[in-house]
Amino acid sequence: MGDLLTIAMPKGRIFEEAAELLRKAGYQLPPEFEDSRKLIIDVPEEKIRFILAKPMDVTTYVEHGVADLGIAGKDVMLEEERDVYEVLDLKISHCYLAVAGIPGAKVQGVAPKVATKYPNVASSYFREQGEQVEIIKLNGSIELAPLIGLADRIVDIVSTGRTLKENGLVELERITDITSRIIVNPVSYRLKDQRIDDLVERLSNVVDGL
């Protein structure tokens, strides 16, 4: 496997859509690919090694060069600002980042408290709005924060809107649209340009046909 390509794949909701795109692009992935609990999956026929990472960590693997490329949500790219190239919008896993809260709730204190998994994105957004806020970093179940009095508002991903609705929250402001992207390590791009260009072109053809 001389010119092995290592791809960091995000576990979770992006994974299946990304795997489907790779199959449509002609990559022969093993049938158990989507169901496996393995964290490293070698596909010798394609000279590809997949590493399965937490979505927030994909950019870290690619920046450090342990993965040549990866599939990462634009939300993670905005939050992490890593030294990687973003080469293709896969146009999958559409969602958006939004500010949400309890309808009509009064802000407690001087600066509203904002709970989020995206402290950098949230800070820049409110700075641009000229609004002073206190950011509270959480790692998940962000919608809990206003319900139990931890925060006045949240900044989080909205996909179907179901989580907000079922928890009695409303969207207040839409920040930005999100899709998944192919990101590439700059050194890998120099050393494995043909293989990477081939993969990007094949995926790009599939994306254009969607």
The answer to whether 8 touches 76, Cβ cutoff 8 Å, is no
Measured CA to CA, the distance from residue 9 to residue 43 in angstroms comes to 14
Our CB check for ligand PRP shows the closer of 113 and 192 to be 113
Q: How far is the CB of 76 from ligand PRP (least distance, A)?
A: 12
Q: How far is the CB of 29 from ligand PRP (least distance, A)?
A: 24
Q: How far is the CB of 141 from ligand PRP (least distance, A)?
A: 5
Q: How far apart are the first and last CA of the chain?
A: 32
The answer to whether 83 touches 63, Cβ cutoff 8 Å, is yes
For residue 153, give the 3-state DSSP assignment: strand
Our CB check for ligand PRP shows the closer of 51 and 97 to be 97
Q: How far is the CB of 164 from ligand PRP (least distance, A)?
A: 6
Measured CA to CA, the distance from residue 84 to residue 99 in angstroms comes to 28
What residue number has its CB nearest to ligand PRP?
Answer: 140
Our CB check for ligand PRP shows the closer of 9 and 157 to be 157
Q: How far is the CB of 171 from ligand PRP (least distance, A)?
A: 10
Our CB check for ligand PRP shows the closer of 48 and 155 to be 155
Our CB check for ligand PRP shows the closer of 21 and 157 to be 157
Interface ranges with ligand PRP (CB under 6 A):
140-143, 156-163
The answer to whether 197 touches 189, Cβ cutoff 8 Å, is no
Measured CA to CA, the distance from residue 52 to residue 209 in angstroms comes to 27
Our CB check for ligand PRP shows the closer of 120 and 163 to be 163
Q: How far is the CB of 50 from ligand PRP (least distance, A)?
A: 21
